Amino acid sequence: MQPKDEVNVRQGIGSLEVGLTVLELISEHDAPVSLTKLSELAHMSPSRLYKYLVSLTKMGYVSQLENAHR
């Protein structure tokens, strides 16, 4: 395995890193978190975040509450 400093310099898949960051942010909350709050935590627009959430939902990693506002 390579040293951590060397791995950080290598280019990865940015969208994967963003998606995993979104999952980490969600997992840090014991209760549901709103799109607005999550977008603030992720430092991205709600519209961009929504696209990640759609993909994560399609893959079964997250779900939207039945009574959540759209």
Q: What is the pLDDT of residues 14-65, one digit of tens each?
A: 999 999 999 999 999 999 999 999 999 999 999 999 999 999 999 999 999 8
User: What is the structure's pLDDT at 14?
Assistant: 94
Identity of the residue numbered 68: A
**pLDDT above 80: residue 3:** no
Distance CA 65, CA 40 (A): 20
Q: What is the DSSP secondary-structure string of 46-65?
A: HHHHHHHHHHHHHTTS----
User: What is the structure's pLDDT at 5?
Assistant: 65
Distance CA 59, CA 57 (A): 5
Distance CA 25, CA 19 (A): 10
pLDDT per residue over 61-70, tens digit each?
999 988 776 5
User: What is the structure's pLDDT at 56?
Assistant: 97
Residue in 27, 29, 25, 20 with CA at minimum distance from that of residue 52: 20
